[in-house]
Every structure is written in structure tokens, then in C-alpha cells.
Structure 1
Amino acid sequence: MSIQIRPATEADIPQIHAINVHYILNTSLTFLQSPVPKSTLATNFDEISNVRGLPYLVAVEPGTGNPPSYGLYRRAEGVIPGQNDPATAGPSEDVVVGYSYLSPFRGHMLSYAPTVELTLFVHPDHQSRSVGSQLFAAILAKAQDPTTRHGAREVTELGGDGEGTELLDVLAGDDGEGAKIRNILAVMAVDPEGKDGGEALLAWYQKKGFTQSGRMKHIGFKKGRWLDTVYLQYDLQE
């Protein structure tokens, strides 16, 4: 399998959505209970890539034809092939086998601009094939690139009279080009019924250089059981 990592485009959203739906409905890796609309993912993509200037990447098999992600979509949405199938990939369309992006951490507060949160999901049919490792290596390289800047924003009250607010593009960098990334956070759920009691993913992050910064016990409830949340931190200056 030949995998390429490239920037995501809006055309990738249906396949990203299908992968996202799978993890929402079938796992506890996300605390979401219900699938989000594709339009929400498209808005999120635009905010991350175009407004914030943060990396949003996909792992693809180039031009291999009908993407398996549509199979995920059909199973999740009750789509009947040939009747209400939303789309079919052409012979040259890339197959998205994973995606990853960096998003603001507490993005409404400017002081957090140098810290971003990692999201990374791999198509279930392509796990244990180094897709996740390749995606993380690529997103880390983007974070370390001095040209990558977080265009952080803050809502500020004008005039002190309480009459409205304005969204200002306040850039945190001293050179006026946005905030350089210092910290990458990974916030993961620990499912006691998962591999190695839910600790396998934690070990994966630690092998990549993350350190555990905190753990909240029994913080979420999904699929009939209480779940912990672990905060992991990757400091780019250490």
C-alpha cells in the first residue's frame, strides 16, 4: 500500500466524515454520541486551515478508485447502494485512509495561542499499517516549521460601554505573523474494555514523545461505562 500525506481539501470532507461517523458510533475514542453533519466538518476545516492557518492533513492511497469510506458511510447512514448512495468515487479519486489536524486549545483566549490540540483518526480497515505514525510525523513537521503560525483571535469589547463586541484578528507573535506553536496536546479517552485496558493508545503517544500531564477519572459516560480522560503534552522546545 502506497500512502501519501497531503493537505486536506474540501473534496475530502465526505470521506473524512465517514471515518468520523464510524468512530462516533462504534468506539469510545470520541465522547460524541451522535454523528455531526458534513457541513459542520466543512466549517471546522475552513476555520482550522484558512482562518487559523493550522495544518489539516490526510493520508491517502492516490487514485485507487472507490473509497472504502463510502462503505462506512452507507453502514452508518442506512444508505442503500444504487438508490440513495450519496456519492461514488471516480477512478482517479484518492482514498482517504486517515486524517489529522491541529486545532486551537481554548481558542477564545489569546494567551493559549502557542498551544494546539491534536486530532488523528485512521480508517478502521487501515489500522496497524503505520498510517497513524506517518500522519503524526507529518503533522509534527508542520508544527515545527517556522512558517506555521497560529492566527489566534480574541473577542474584545469596544469602548468599555458594553455595547457590542468585535472579533479581532490579534496575532500573538512578536513579529506580527501569528503565534509559533510550542505545545501539542493530545486528549484521549481511556476505555477499560479497549486494548490493554484502554492503555494501548496512551503507550503509542508516549512512544511518539508525549508525556502524560494529567488524568481525569470517570469524566465521561459512553456505551454503558465510565471513561477516564488523559491529557498528554508534546513540548516542541524540549
Structure 2
Amino acid sequence: MVEAAIPEDLAAIGEIYAHYVQHSVATFELTAPDDAEWKQRFASVTEAGLPFLVARVHGEVAGYAYCSPWKARPAYRYTVEDSIYLAPAAAGRGVGGRLLDELLARCADAGIREVIAVIADPGPQNPSPFLHRRRGFTDAGRLTGVGFKHGRRLDTLLMQKTLS
């Protein structure tokens, strides 16, 4: 089940994200955000009228997704960047697809026109480009060597979907 996140979900969200910060290059953050930072992120997203969602499996948070403004300048107000992370045990079970489908629907309802995905290290083992392409995102560009984590230089793939 995919539904709006609530503040009580933030601890589980933080645990999911911390896994990726510590063990992967899916995010370029080097230190996992603390509880106060998660409260700030949640407030920023929801106060902007943007979706912040969780997927529950057997009542537990199995993943989350949200959109944040792409840039602060007012001309970008109809463009957002998506973020989707799954608990490791939820990977490969369709949870990411359900989250992204609902995220896109709620973005459209909020008047968003463009959704940008910034995918770190879009190599063959990364399922995120496939997930996004299946939902109509197209490749918009690649930034080479812009990240450095776990002793590696990393690219990012930019993908984009127009909602209206």
C-alpha cells in the first residue's frame, strides 16, 4: 500500500536511507541525515504541497518517495526532482514501481509539469534507470565524474518526464 508519509514514518525512512548512504553510491551523501534533518526535509516537501509517500508491506515501511523543487528560482516552480529508496528486502518486488506511479499521479494533481530524476552511477546493476524508463522518463543527459564516493568517480544520469 502506498500512502502519504506521516512524521512517525521518519525513523524508518531514515534507516532505509542510511543503508544507501553507508553501503552504496545511490546517493552522494557521505553521512546519513539525523532525525532533525529528516523532520526538516519532510516539512519542506509537504509545506510546498509536494508528495512525500511511503510504501507499506505488512504494515512496515518498505520504501519511500518524494519530490522536491528542482531549483529555488521561481521560473522552475513547476519542475521537481524525485527521490525513491527501498528497504533492501523490498527490492525487486514492484514496490518502487508502485511508489513512482503514485508519486507521478500526485505530482500531476499538484500542478507539476516536469519531473527530473538524477540517478547516481547508472551502471548495469542500477535498477533506477529501468524503473524510470518504464514510466516514460527519457534520458536528458549525463554528467561525468561529478561525484566521488567509496574511492570511485561517479557519473549521474539525468532523466525527465513531462506530466502535462
For 1:104, the equivalent position in structure 2 comes to: 69
Residues 142-175 of structure 1 deviation map (CA, whole Å, 9 limit, x = unaligned): 1122xx2xxxxxxxxxxxxxxxxxxxxxxxxxxx
* Cα RMSD, aligned residues only: 1.3
Structure with higher RCO (Cα < 8 A, 6+ apart): 2
1:13 to 10, 13, 20: 10
Q: What is residue 157 of structure 2 aligned with on the other side?
A: 230
Which one of the candidate residues 191, 200, 209 is aligned to 2:136? Answer: 209
Q: Tell me, what secondary structure is at the counterpart of 2:68?
A: strand
Write the deviation string for residues 34-82 of structure 1: whole angstroms up to 9, x where unpaired: 1111110111101111x201010000125xxxxxxxxxxxxxxxxxxxx
In structure 1, what is the Cα distance between the partners aligned to 2:141 and 2:122? Answer: 16
Q: Identify unmatched segments of 5+ residues in structure 2.
A: none
Match of 1:186 among 112, 117, 127: 117
Matches within 5 A, 1:23-34: 23-34=20-31
Output the CA distance in 2 between the equivalents of 1:207 and 1:218: 26
Question: Gaps spanning 5+ residues in structure 1: where?
Answer: 63-93, 149-179
1:219–1:226 contact (8 Å) kept in structure 2: yes
The structure with the largest alpha-carbon Rg is 1
Over the matched positions of the two proteins, sequence identity in percent amounts to 32
Question: What TM-score do the two structures reach when normalised by structure 2?
Answer: 0.95
Cα distance in 1 between the residues matched to 2:3 and 2:128: 24
Alignment partner for residue 82 of structure 2, among 97, 113, 118?
A: 118
Match of 1:33, SS state, is coil
Partners of 1:28 and 1:191 within 8 A in 2: no
Contact 2:25 2:149 in 1 (8 A): yes
Q: 1:15, 1:132 → 2: CA distance?
A: 16
User: Residue 56 of structure 2 aligns to which amino acid in structure 1?
Assistant: V
- Greater helix content: 2
Q: How many Å apart are 1:191 and its aligned residue?
A: 5.6
What TM-score, normalized by structure 1, do the two folds share? 0.66
Runs of 4+ in structure 1 over 3 Å off: none
Count of aligned pairs: 164
